[in-house]
Structure 1
C-alpha cells in the first residue's frame, strides 16, 4: 500500500529539473569515461530515453508506482542482473564490448566495482522513490528499467548478429525480453502494453543504428 497522499505521488516541475540534471551528469560521466565509443552508443542514449520517459510521466501526471506492484518485480530484475553480470564477467564482456567500438578493455576490477555500485544505486533509488516518495531519484531507478533490462536485451541481440556468434552476456540478457516489459509496466503506473511496446520501439530505433554505425571495422 502506498501511504503518500495523491498530491505527492505525481512529479513536480522541480522533479523534472532534477531528472534533467541527473541525466546531464550521467551522460557527462559516461562520455568522459567511455572506452572508445562503447558508452556513447549504449548508456548515453539510454539515459536520454529515460529522461524522455520521465517527461512523459510528468506531462501525463502518472503517479509513482505502488510498492506492492513494483518492488517484487524490480527485486527479481536486480537479482537477474547479478546473474547477467556473472555471465558477462566470466565470458569477457569487459574486453569484447569496448573492442567493438575502438576501445581498450575495461579493467576487470573497474568493471566489477562499477557494476556493483550501480546496482546499489538502483536499489536505493527505487526504494526511495517507491516507498518514501523521493521523486527526484526516479531517473536512476528508471534507467535500470530502460537500459539495464530492455536495452540489455536489445544490444546483446544486435551484437550477436554483428559478430556472427555468441556475444558475452547473451544468454541471461534474453531473460530481459520477459522481465523488462513487465517491469516497465509495473513502474509506469496506468500504462498499457501498447505504451510499453512504444518505449521498446524507441529503444530499437535509437540504439540499433548507433550500435551498427559506430562499430569499428
Structure 2
C-alpha cells in the first residue's frame, strides 16, 4: 500500500521590513528646525544652498536608505572620513575669514560673526554628524538622513559653491583649496549610498524566495 508523500513544512517567511513613519516625521522636524535656524542666524544668501540640499537629501533618503538603512561598514567609514575632511575644510574657512568675506561679497546688512560660524557650522554641526555616524552603525533611519545631507549638502553643493565664489570675488575665496576634496568625498559617498540601497533592496526581494 502506497503512502501519500509527506507534506513538507512551508519555508519560513521573513517579516517585511516596515518603514517607521516616526523616523520620517522626526527627520522632517529636525530639517525644518535646522533650516529656520540658518535663516535667522546666517545671511540669507548663505542659507539658501544648505536649505535646498537639506530638502533634496530628505527626498533622496526616503527613496533609498529610509526603508533599508545602511549596513555596510564601507559606507559608514567613507562617511566618517568625509566628516573628518569637513573639519579640515572649515579650518581653512575659519583661518581665511570665510564669514566676513561671505557677508562682504553679498553686501548683506546681517553680519556673520566668527562666533556664529564656529558654534553652528563647526561645533554643533560636527557633533550632529558624529552622532549620526554612531547611529548609522545600528541602522537607525534618522541617522541615515544625515549621511545623505552631508553627501548632497555639506559635500557636493558646498564644493560647487566654492568653485563659483572665486569668480564672484575675482580671486581666492576662503575654502577654495579644500573644496575639491569635498567634491571627491561627496561623489564617493553618494555612489556608496546608492550602491548599498540597491544591494539591500535586492536582498529583501530575493531573500524570502531563497529561504
Q: Same fold (TM over 0.5)?
A: yes
CA distance in structure 2 between the aligned counterparts of 1:6 and 1:92, rounded to whole angstroms: 54
1:173 to 1:58, Cα distance in 2 relative to 1, 3 A: closer
Across the aligned residues of Structure 1 and Structure 2, the Cα RMSD in angstroms comes to: 2.4
Aligned pairs for 1:107-118 (under 5 A) are 107-114=113-120, 115-118=122-125
How big is the shift at 1:38?
2.1
* Secondary structure, aligned partner of 1:133: coil
CA distance in structure 1 between the aligned counterparts of 2:84 and 2:15, rounded to whole angstroms: 31
How big is the shift at 1:154?
0.7
How big is the shift at 1:185?
2.1
How big is the shift at 1:7?
5.1
Aligned pairs for 1:22-171 (under 5 A) are 22-39=30-47, 41-57=48-64, 61=67, 63-101=68-106, 102-114=108-120, 115-128=122-135, 130-171=136-177
* Secondary structure, aligned partner of 2:29: helix
- 1:175 partnered with 2:185: no
Contact 1:64 1:187 in 2 (8 A): no
CA distance in structure 2 between the aligned counterparts of 1:80 and 1:25, rounded to whole angstroms: 25
Flag structure 2 segments of 5+ consecutive residues without an equivalent.
1-13, 200-211
How big is the shift at 1:6?
8.4
Structure label with greater radius of gyration: 2
Cα shift readout 1:13-42 (whole Å, capped 9, x = no counterpart)? 332222222222221211222224321x22
- 1:187 partnered with 2:197: no
CA distance in structure 2 between the aligned counterparts of 1:109 and 1:116, rounded to whole angstroms: 10
Contact 1:95 1:104 in 2 (8 A): no
How big is the shift at 1:104?
3.7
Contact 1:160 1:166 in 2 (8 A): yes
CA distance in structure 2 between the aligned counterparts of 1:158 and 1:103, rounded to whole angstroms: 22
TM-score with structure 2 setting the length:
0.76
How big is the shift at 1:95?
0.8
CA distance in structure 1 between the aligned counterparts of 2:64 and 2:15, rounded to whole angstroms: 15
Contact 1:15 1:136 in 2 (8 A): yes
